Structure 1
Amino acid sequence: MRLMPCRVPIMACRISELVIDCRDPQRLAAFWCEVLGFVVLDIDIDDGAVEIGPREGFGGLQPTLVFSPTTEPKAGKLPLHIDVNATDRDQDAELERLLKLGARPADIGQTGEETWHCLVDPEGNEFCLLRARLS
């Protein structure tokens, strides 16, 4: 596979929101608010979508997450997953916290030598807890 060189554009886009289809937006929003230290920014009264993000609100450096209700069943592995890093504790302590919040370990064929942990959220969406602590 040949990689294309990256050019530094004069103007670029950035990710502002990630929309995640789910069966229970309130439950998933509550879980991810606890995981990320986010707050609920908006609830769409018409369709029940819940947007969460940093206390500063939409448009900052971190994208917001929008949990959009769907009745469609999850079909296999999602083509995108979230990676998280602890900010105020080591990886083992953060793993323990995430499991208490309702995350569950996921077996994706790990060898046991990985520096990360694969987990699933309350609706079975995979995410990884990486080793590095970010400030």
Structure 2
Amino acid sequence: MALRLVQVNFKARDDAALGRFWADALGWGVSSEGPGVTNVEPVGFDWPDPTALCIDVVAVPDPETVKYRAHLDLATTSAAHKDELVARLLELGATHADIGQGDVPWTVLADPEGNVFCVLEPREIYRDTGPIATVVVNCTDPRAMARFWSEATDWTLHEVDDDHARLRSASGVGPYLELLRTEGPETVWNRVHLDVKPYAGDDLEAEVERLRALGASDADVGQGDDVSWRVLADVEGNEFCVLAPDKAGVSG
């Protein structure tokens, strides 16, 4: 048994507006599975597929009460591409953000609802990831987090030390998941968390039990009892969702 990391989930006041921002930012399309939910994914994408992590924007009554430790880093291919992307994002409604980064080669921005993200300078490691280079999760112990996430999912651990860990789909495609050591309490508002999904035909409850054995715990974010997914927290308390698997022979 294993889980696939399939999407990042944004909480928002206005899911349609924030979804449109991210679709325009990434050059992707939008759809909706129902009121209050906007799905952002590459045009023609057959979800789920490791070549991309999609974005699911969900409207919540009070997003100010939600604070996660994940954010997106966007890839660029040249200095000119980076400058052009930053300028376009600002036109779309992003703003510059100061999180104490100092003089760094990347640019820190916030989306229209205040979620911080980074536009990276060109890096060889991200040349084939697509527009999202990596999903970064801040943590206090990258080794422990890497152990959990590499065992929880079918993603491969590429490197790990006391300050940083990097995982990627076992297929060697798409963006990375990076676990970055940070000190002290979080000072940045981000309403982004991870969603994972069992393979078709696998058992949701069996996967949840396996995650608990790895150190995950149950989490209550007000989801109620009538939802098809399960909300858990990883070994550092970061909430994530386990989505219901598709029936065998049916793609999601």
Instruction: Indicate whether the TM-score tops 0.5.
Output: yes
1:80 aligns with 2:192: yes
- Among all aligned residue pairs of Structure 1 and Structure 2, give the percentage whose two residues are the same amino acid: 33
1:71 aligns with 2:186: no
Structure 2 residue matching 1:97: 3-state secondary structure: helix
Alignment CA distance shift 1:94-1:64 (3 Å): same
Counterpart Cα distance in 1 of 2:169 and 2:239 = 22
Structure 2 residue matching 1:107: 3-state secondary structure: coil
- Residues 81-119 of structure 1, C-alpha deviations (whole Å, 9 max, x = no match): 001111161111111111111111101123211111111
In the TM superposition, residue 17 of structure 1 has moved relative to its aligned partner by: 1.1
1:24 aligns with 2:130: no
**Structure 1 runs (4+) greater than 3 angstroms displaced:** 1-4, 74-78
The residue identity in structure 1 corresponding to 2:235 is P
Q: Which runs of 5+ in 1 are unaligned?
A: none
Correspondence 1:120-135 to 2 at 5 A: 120-133=233-246
In the TM superposition, residue 20 of structure 1 has moved relative to its aligned partner by: 1.1
Counterpart Cα distance in 2 of 1:41 and 1:89 = 26
Q: What is the RMSD of the two structures over their aligned residues, measured on CA atoms?
A: 3.1
The residue identity in structure 1 corresponding to 2:216 is A
The residue identity in structure 1 corresponding to 2:233 is V
- Give the one of 35, 51, 56 matched to 2:152: 35
Counterpart Cα distance in 1 of 2:212 and 2:188 = 22
Q: Give the total of aligned pairs.
A: 129
- Residues 29-84 of structure 1, C-alpha deviations (whole Å, 9 max, x = no match): 1100011122221236xx72111122344xx13x2111111112246985110011
1:14 aligns with 2:131: yes
1:117 aligns with 2:234: no
The residue identity in structure 1 corresponding to 2:238 is N
Alignment CA distance shift 1:109-1:56 (3 Å): closer
Alignment CA distance shift 1:48-1:111 (3 Å): closer
Structure 2 residue matching 1:95: 3-state secondary structure: helix
In the TM superposition, residue 125 of structure 1 has moved relative to its aligned partner by: 0.5
Contact 2:166–2:179 (8 Å) recurs in 1: yes
Contact 1:115–1:131 (8 Å) recurs in 2: yes
Contact 1:105–1:118 (8 Å) recurs in 2: yes
Q: Which runs of 5+ in 2 are unaligned?
A: 1-13, 29-41, 43-129
Whose helix proportion is higher, 1 or 2? 2
Alignment CA distance shift 1:68-1:28 (3 Å): same
Counterpart Cα distance in 2 of 1:104 and 1:75 = 24
Alignment CA distance shift 1:125-1:78 (3 Å): farther
Greater gyration radius: 2
Counterpart Cα distance in 2 of 1:67 and 1:129 = 19
- Give the one of 45, 48, 55 matched to 2:170: 55
The residue identity in structure 1 corresponding to 2:176 is T
